Amino acid sequence: MRIIGLLGSPHRNGGTAQLLMSALKAGEREGANTSLYSLYDGEIKPCIGCIRNEEPTCKYPCIFEDYGKVLLERIYEADGIIFGTPIYWFAPSGVMKNLIDRMTCMENMVAFGEPSYLEGKVVGVIAVGADTGAIMTGGYLVTTLNSMGAIIPPWAIAYSYKSKASLWEDKDLMNAINVGLLVARMVALLKGNKVRLGYVEDKALLEEIRKEVLRELNIEVEAKRHVRGLGWLRY
């Protein structure tokens, strides 16, 4: 079982990364091999809308030779994809929107007599902000991905408004962990395994994952300082 996390934030140890890593670690506990890709590691050119050409030219692989194409390949290979995005004006970040648009080449395989390449893939969403707009952002992503053929498990949207302190908000962290657990369990179910698709409340697991993410991001000292002075939460 292969699950990837797509990080749509420029901050490698920001709130989005914290919750996305937590979700992937939860998925690993369900037997998934996971990888995290930052969308800021290369250029994702904006879609140029080949789909409206008279001859159908929008098909996988996309015509651009850029980092976006690499990410589309990783999506193609994955059983599960967790989209982690900061909330930028009630929406996913621009780079994530570019990637979503570029995924049209996978969905548009239906114009070539094939199923959408998103069909059968399981997706989850994590959105992190400092104020409001999580449901618009998460709702947009699940609606769009479902319209491309992807499967959305229960409790597939987690969000936090705690920005860089998201990892310290137990409820938000538990929700993110559930995104990882339920994406993995839904993949397992599709592969013929018997699983329970219920919300998991597990304080010990939460503490264990938080500790692992902290260790990997090496942000303990910085984060504790931020939690004391909440002024930076404004943007």
Ligand X SMILES: Cc1cc2nc3c(=O)[nH]c(=O)nc-3n(C[C@H](O)[C@H](O)[C@H](O)COP(=O)(O)O)c2cc1C
Please state the closest distance from residue 222 (CB atom) to ligand X, in A.
12
DSSP helix/strand/coil, 173: helix
Q: Does 232 bind ligand X (CB under 6 A)?
A: no
Q: Does 199 bind ligand X (CB under 6 A)?
A: no
Tell me the C-alpha distance between 145 and 150, whole Å.
Answer: 6
Mask for 7-46, x = binds ligand X (CB under 6 A)? --x-x--xxxx-----------------------------
Beta carbon nearer to ligand X, 58 or 99:
99
**Total residues in contact with ligand X, by rule CB under 6 A:** 21
Q: E strands along 87-163, which residues?
A: 122-128, 157-160
Q: Does 74 bind ligand X (CB under 6 A)?
A: no
Do the bridges between strand 157-160 and strand 122-128 make them parallel or antiparallel, or are there none, so unpaired?
A: parallel
Sign of CA dihedral 81, 13, 138, 8: negative
Q: Quick one: angle between helices 94-102 and 134-147, nearest 10?
A: 10
Please state the closest distance from residue 26 (CB atom) to ligand X, in A.
18
Please state the closest distance from residue 173 (CB atom) to ligand X, in A.
14
Beta carbon nearer to ligand X, 75 or 87:
87
Q: Classify 84 in phi/psi space as left (phi over 0), alpha (psi -120 to 50) or beta.
A: beta
Please state the closest distance from residue 160 (CB atom) to ligand X, in A.
8
Tell me the C-alpha distance between 61 and 196, whole Å.
Answer: 36
Please state the closest distance from residue 14 (CB atom) to ligand X, in A.
3
Q: Does 129 bind ligand X (CB under 6 A)?
A: yes
Say if residues 82 and 179 touch (Cβ distance below 8 Å): yes
Beta carbon nearer to ligand X, 9 or 108:
9
Tell me the C-alpha distance between 145 and 139, whole Å.
Answer: 10
Which of 222, 139, 166 shows the shortest CA–CA distance to 23? 166
Residues from 82 through 111 that contact ligand X (CB under 6 A)? 86-90
Residues from 144 through 173 that contact ligand X (CB under 6 A)? 161, 163-164
Q: Does 5 bind ligand X (CB under 6 A)?
A: no
Tell me, what amino acid is at 21? M
Residues lying near ligand X in the complex (CB under 6 A): 9, 11, 14-17, 86-90, 128-133, 161, 163-164, 235
